[in-house]
Amino acid sequence: MASLISDTAPWKDLKSHVGEIEKTHLRDLMNDAHRCHSLMLEFDGLFLDYSRQCATVDTMSKLFSLAEAAHLKEKINSMFSGEHINSTEDRSVLHVALRAAKDTTINSDGKNVVPDVWQVLDKIKEFSDKVRNGSWVGATGKALTNVIAIGIGGSFLGPLFVHTALQTDPEASKTAGGRQLRFLANVDPVDVARNISGLDPETTLVVVVSKTFTTAETMLNARTLREWISSALGPQAVSKHMVAVSTNLKLVEKFGIDPNNAFAFWDWVGGRYSVCSAVGVLPLSLQYGFSVVEKFLIGARSIDQHFQSTPFEKNIPVLLGLLSVWNVSFLGYPARAILPYTQALEKLAPHIQQVSMESNGKGVSIDGVRLPFEAGEIDFGEPGTNGQHSFYQLIHQGRVIPCDFIGIVKSQQPVYLRDEVVNNHDELMSNFFAQPDALAYGKTPEQLQSENVAPHLVPHKTFTGNRPSLSILLPSLDAYRIGQV
């Protein structure tokens, strides 16, 4: 029988370490300045502070031993080198190739896939430029200023997240000027009604996004909008008003979409990781222009390189992954709250819900052996401060929920009011992170304010509960360097 990670010595060592940590109050952990400083790091505009996790430096070193026992480094290398790590479907897992630089070589089944990726990216650039500059027009000669992207799951949540994040970005909102991008996912006809409300088929382009091109909800919505277009403009209008993104180009053609207007991706892209393929890049380029979307790809590439090559002690995705394992499988905290303090990241939690919960939390190991421990967290979240007036009470006063607070260095849309502390002040944020001691457990807002720390940036009440744990992840919103961790 295949062995389980829970049979290894590092797992057992961590198990016996739990009692020690449970005896330690977070206040005491926070009073150890050396520990706090060593549990913070920065990469490319992302600042990670995990000093409020219920973990010591010793815990972290035990988690690194666990990563070694799990052959994590070898597994990362196997993924980047195109080995078939998706063993159930016998496929490579290469979403990282979707944002690789043109001159990179990434092989799947002996073939470098990067030229194919760039062929599609170039085609998207050309097509979206034509639609945006009015050289591709609708059946009646009018410019197509509105896009409805039909798709569900990974063919919806990633693109919606990035769209929501870009909407108020100064550069992106300028390049989007006068254009609309909407997403139709639900099979409920109410979603159709909402999507077409106020739109004219003459000026609307529909993008059908489906990896398989068989998903029931998506195909019904595609047929509904095909009817909406052809009943208004005639069946011949479909070729000008409908395009597709899929790995199944045969079914695209069968549906009646010109294969020349189809944008391919590949079976080595998992649906939930497909935002950097044509799934996200096409609708987003139609809305914002390819050059804006390319910056998102470059940000994702940067975190990929960091993930691939940085030692685990400084590797943000690896650290967050190990802390998840620690919280869920050892400390027994089943949930994780994702709490971005910016409305621009409003759709981050639903995106991460799919990315994480469709992947992790299985009851069996990769070899089909039943797990004797819980795996994978239940993700939920809302932007602050809205969540504070909703479910934070349970977190303050009830069960322990590890919280990932996400702050921002610089707001997309700053507001400056004399004598007011608002959560976009660069200087306050720099002070906030320049003085970790000022974040010490249990300080009052007044104390923090006297130390020049914006009190409502410090959800201090969450530090006063029994054993809360949290990380603060600080993205530079200029580049949306989120990547798929």
Nearer of residues 136 and 273 to ligand F6P, judged by Cβ: 273
Nearer of residues 149 and 454 to ligand F6P, judged by Cβ: 149
Nearer of residues 47 and 265 to ligand F6P, judged by Cβ: 265
CA dist list (Å): 105 to 62, 113, 250, 274, 297: 35, 7, 28, 20, 17
Nearer of residues 152 and 474 to ligand F6P, judged by Cβ: 152
Which residues are CB-contacts of 350 (< 8 A; sequence separation ≥ 6)? 157, 160, 161
Closest residue to bound ligand F6P by CB: 153
Nearer of residues 24 and 86 to ligand F6P, judged by Cβ: 86
Provide the CB-side half-sphere exposure for 298 (13 A, CA): 9
Least distance from C-beta 280 to ligand F6P, angstroms? Answer: 12
The amino acid sitting at 73 is K
Which residues are CB-contacts of 363 (< 8 A; sequence separation ≥ 6)? 370, 371
Residue 212, interface with ligand F6P (CB under 6 A)? yes
Which of 463, 427, 430 shows the shortest CA–CA distance to 444? 463
Residue 272, interface with ligand F6P (CB under 6 A)? yes
Phi, psi values for residue 406, rounded to 5°:
-120, 115
Interface residue with ligand F6P, options 146, 155, 230, 302 (CB under 6 A): 155
Q: Is 50 helix (H, G, I), strand (E, B) or coil?
A: strand
Nearer of residues 218 and 484 to ligand F6P, judged by Cβ: 218
Nearer of residues 188 and 437 to ligand F6P, judged by Cβ: 188
CA dist list (Å): 243 to 150, 215, 224, 253, 456: 11, 17, 15, 10, 46
Q: What span, in angstroms and rounded, lies between the C-alpha atoms of 340 and 482?
A: 12
CB distance 271 to 234 below 8 Å? no
Which of 170, 476, 162 shows the shortest CA–CA distance to 345? 162
Interface residue with ligand F6P, options 10, 138, 153, 201 (CB under 6 A): 153
Residue 402, interface with ligand F6P (CB under 6 A)? no
Least distance from C-beta 152 to ligand F6P, angstroms? Answer: 5
Interface residue with ligand F6P, options 128, 145, 195, 210 (CB under 6 A): 210
Q: What span, in angstroms and rounded, lies between the C-alpha atoms of 138 and 145?
A: 10
Least distance from C-beta 354 to ligand F6P, angstroms? Answer: 7
Residue 340, interface with ligand F6P (CB under 6 A)? no
CA angle 459, 348, 313 (to 5 degrees): 70
Residue 211, interface with ligand F6P (CB under 6 A)? yes
Residue 269, interface with ligand F6P (CB under 6 A)? no
Binders in 347-386 for ligand F6P, by CB under 6 A: 358
Interface residue with ligand F6P, options 215, 287, 315, 342 (CB under 6 A): 215
> How many of the chain's residues bind ligand F6P (CB under 6 A)?
12
The structure tokens listed for 93 are 């897992």
Least distance from C-beta 215 to ligand F6P, angstroms? Answer: 3
Q: Which stretch binds ligand F6P (CB under 6 A): 211-219, 287-295, 314-322, 378-386?
A: 211-219
Q: Is 40 helix (H, G, I), strand (E, B) or coil?
A: strand
Nearer of residues 14 and 355 to ligand F6P, judged by Cβ: 355
Q: In what order do the strands lie in the sheet with 335-340?
A: 40-43, 46-52, 470-474, 403-406, 335-340, 378-381
Nearer of residues 176 and 243 to ligand F6P, judged by Cβ: 243
Binding site for ligand F6P (CB under 6 A): 152-155, 210-212, 215, 218, 271-272, 358
